[in-house]
Amino acid sequence: MDFDYQAMRTFADSWGLVYLVAIFVFVIVWVFRPGSQKHIDDAAQIPFKEDR
């Protein structure tokens, strides 16, 4: 199957957008899932921990 620029562009405009929206929704759900607050708080404090 020979793909030219127009075919790839059409594919990216349709399914590429769906793919990126799905990744965005997954990340938002992952961050705001129940029980993730402790991990978020621990990660937020990393810059303030003393060097060991």
Whole-model pTM? 0.61
Domain span at residue 40 reads 10-44
Per cent of the chain over pLDDT 90 is 35
Q: Is residue 52's pLDDT more than 60? A: no
pLDDT at residue number 21: 95
Residue 1's pLDDT is 58
Whether residue 20 lies inside any domain: the answer is: yes
34: region left, alpha or beta (phi > 0 left; psi from -120 to 50 alpha): beta
Tell me how many domains the chain contains. 1
Does 24 reside within a domain?
yes
User: Each residue of 16-46: pLDDT tens digit?
Assistant: 889 999 999 999 999 899 888 898 899 899 9
Q: Show Cβ contacts of residue 31 under 8 Å, excluding neighbours closer than 6 positions.
A: 40
What's the mean per-residue pLDDT of the chain? Answer: 88
